[in-house]
Amino acid sequence: MFDYHEYFRSEMMPHMWCKGCGNGIVLKALLRAIHRLGLSKDRIAMVSGIGCSSRLTGYVDCNTLHTTHGRPLAFATGLKLARPELTVIVITGDGDGLAIGGNHLIHTARRNIDLTCLLFNNQIYGMTGGQLAPTTPEALFSTTTPYGNIEPNFDACRLVQAAGGTFVARGTVYRAIPLEKLIAEGIQHKGFSFVEILTTCPEIHGRRNKLGTPAEMLQALAKTTLPTGVIHQASGPEYTEAYDGIIAKAQGRT
């Protein structure tokens, strides 16, 4: 029988997420995916940036690295190059990964390095004050758009696919079992894997925009018009292997 507590750092509990937040659903889906694949905790490295989603690495009993805002993919790239045998999973949010970290996301996808990036999309900067995010829908309110958002929002999956990501998928916290399967597929894929996860922020985003109770916000995700599941999958040269070839040439081994 699967026991989530085997994967938790019990001394870090209770967690800091608000009641009704969807991040706990993602955490459990990720742990089930890891268990499904039979991965050793000692062979996993999780890297996160700054934000509500990025607190996840503090709760998981494996190799973890909590980095600076917007930079988890940069740190993870260096880690994967140094230790290519590790399964490296990046935890980021829509603000952390698409705004300040957007350039790192583009170039990590372009390089096709063997990382799995889970991007939590709750449409807002939840932890740092409720500011506008690149994913905030038009006309909705935030602390920095008190009269409503006039900017079009990102489609993160289309962005990553265009940048060269070879596994692109989208799931929701409403459908937790399919999300678990998508995460497992992403981890198994050789190359850059990107899974956008539509989740909920009832306190900071939901209250301000009168989006209903946490349960109602969760149910609303079932009606998303965005495509879900595996959106794009391809194969291509993987960056750590190509880089190892350069090292071999420099050292005269080839």
| Residue 80 neighbours by CB under 8 Å, 6+ apart | 86, 88, 113, 114, 115, 240
- Reduce the DSSP state of residue 46 to 3 states and report it: strand
E-strand stretches of 138-184: 167-172
CA distance 147 to 11: 43
Contact call for residues 98 and 52 (beta carbons, < 8 A): no
Distance CA 40, CA 74 (A): 24
Least Cα distance to 100 among 145, 131, 57 occurs for 131
Q: What's the pLDDT score for residue 193? A: 98
The whole-number pLDDT of residue 133 equals 95
Whether residue 1 is predicted with pLDDT greater than 90 in this model: the reply is no
CA 180, 154, 116, 96 torsion-angle sign: negative
pLDDT tier for residue 253 given thresholds of 50, 70 and 90: confident
Q: What is the dihedral of CA 187, 154, 47, 239, to 10 degrees?
A: 60
Q: What is the CATH number of domain 22-250?
A: 3.40.50.970
What's the pLDDT tens digit per position in 186-233?
999 999 999 999 999 999 999 999 999 999 999 999 999 999 999 999
Query: What's the gap between Cα 175 and its chain centre?
Result: 16
Name the strands in the sheet holding 229-233, side by side, starting at the edge strand that comes first in the sequence.
63-66, 44-48, 87-93, 116-121, 193-198, 167-172, 229-233
Provide the pLDDT confidence category of residue 128 given band limits of 50, 70 and 90.
confident
Mean pLDDT score, 52-81: 96
Tell me how crowded residue 192 is: count the other CB atoms within 10 A of its CB: 28
For 104-128, what is the mean pLDDT?
96
